[in-house]
Chain A
């Protein structure tokens, strides 16, 4: 088995396990919808104001809902010492990590795909003005979130205060990706295109993904094995 098939095997296992149990996907989708609904009570903005804060609102929802998925990523392997079995298996740590990150990525993309139309309906917002670019931005930012989330999920998996420590550690680290995603989503929803001035945010997103993916793959052996 090469690296790609090992990664796909781990990702497939995680996605299958999630589809069968739906332990974090249901919670993440429900949580995302609840935040979208509560936000409408918190403020009563005009359509123009909603456009201006759309990116911020959506990515706060995705980041909060994402933490529920990321928290379970390695924690679900603790029962029956499955994590030890995975580490002992002939799959290298990097493939195990990228497989788990890929599964988290797919699950978070599902949450986003469900949340976006609900956001459009609840806030009467035309969000499909440039769906291809919006999808690309969502994929880049979601990868950034999942890569940081997955590595820190592995780092905190054996802690007593796991559920508490993970958000404390990941949100500050994710801020560059979230800032870029918020800005790009806002301009895509309000203007339908990314102005030349905002291309720097796209570069920041790509740079963030490359740097943190490389760093995570390099360090995951140490995190999992020591």
Chain B
């Protein structure tokens, strides 16, 4: 039953993304100043929103793990972080491609970009820490603490364009500017693609949670066999 729901959601995410790709490439016109490359924004911005959401969920489930000591929250945290790191890398790569075309450079040490990279490194450190601890309880506890600390980098990345004067474009979405900075059709597509990527993220997290549960089971069987 659960597997059927997951397959259904994955199909829905795939169809939604396919429909969005059709509208992005064939429905929407080129942007006046940037030309065709602006279309990468429909993946760049939603990827960041998706990874921030994943890291937020990981932070909350880490807090819940420390409070309730249920392995389910640890499983959710590690799955959300792993998928979040993938979306962070997508955000970094798509931003870099856009920067190469618009700024003429792949990378600049601008506060927003730097913090985005730091966020990626911090959460990669979380995954490395998990691999370095053998005991499942200590692994879950220590990585939950790190996950709570790591969320500070997400907040700073999000607020970097407000706190520093950055080369990275400032806020353009109407929820932050009050409107007028972006064509409503383009903004609607941006949110639509975020919805599709978020759905894909949920499916991936659910699949990863299942894998984590299985690996826990294998690990405990191995321990049991070793003890016997």
Using a CB–CB cutoff of 8 Å, the interface residues on chain A facing chain B are: 148, 151-152, 155-156, 158-161, 165, 168-169, 172-173, 175-176, 200, 211-212, 215, 219, 222-223, 226
Contact = CB atoms under 8 A, between A and B. Distances in A.
Contacts of A168: 125, 128
B132 A155 contact: no
Contact of B132 (A159, A215, A219): A159
Contact of B122 (A161, A172, A223): A172
Given A155-B146, A222-B145, A161 B156 contact: no
Interface in B130-156: 132-133, 137-138, 141-142, 144-146, 148-150, 152-153, 156
Given A156-B142, A176-B156, 10 more contacts: A151-B145, A155-B129, A156-B129, A159-B133, A161-B132, A168-B125, A169-B125, A173-B149, A200-B163, A223-B145
Contacts of A222: 66, 141, 144-145
B137 A219 contact: no
Task: Provide the main secondary structure of the chain A interface.
Answer: helix
Contacts of A158: 133, 138
B156 A172 contact: no
Nearest to B156: A176
A140 B146 CA distance: 23
Interface residues of B, number: 23
B97 interface: no
A211 B141 contact: no
Contacts of B122: 172-173
A151 B142 CA distance: 11
A165 B142 contact: no
A8 B133 CA distance: 32
Nearest to A222: B66
B121 interface: yes
B57 interface: no
B145 A155 contact: yes
Contacts of A159: 132-133
A165 B118 contact: no
Contact of B129 (A160, A169, A219): A169
A148 B138 CA distance: 19
A223 B62 CA distance: 13
A219 B148 contact: yes
Contacts of B150: 173
A200 B165 CA distance: 13
A223 B156 CA distance: 25
Given A158-B138, A222-B141, A169 B132 contact: no
14 contacts: A151-B145, A155-B142, A155-B145, A155-B146, A156-B132, A161-B132, A169-B129, A169-B146, A172-B118, A173-B122, A173-B150, A176-B156, A219-B148, A226-B138
B114 to A, nearest CB: 8
Contact of B149 (A161, A215, A226): A215
Contacts of B153: 172-173
Contacts of A211: 152
Residue of B125, B128, B148 with most partner-chain A CB within 10 A: B125
Contacts of A156: 129, 132, 142
Nearest to B120: A172
Nearest to A165: B132
Nearest to B121: A172
The 10 closest A-B pairs by CB, nearest first: A172-B122, A172-B121, A169-B125, A161-B132, A159-B132, A172-B118, A155-B142, A219-B145, A168-B125, A222-B66
A160 B138 CA distance: 13
Nearest to A223: B145
A223 B148 CA distance: 12
Contacts of B156: 176
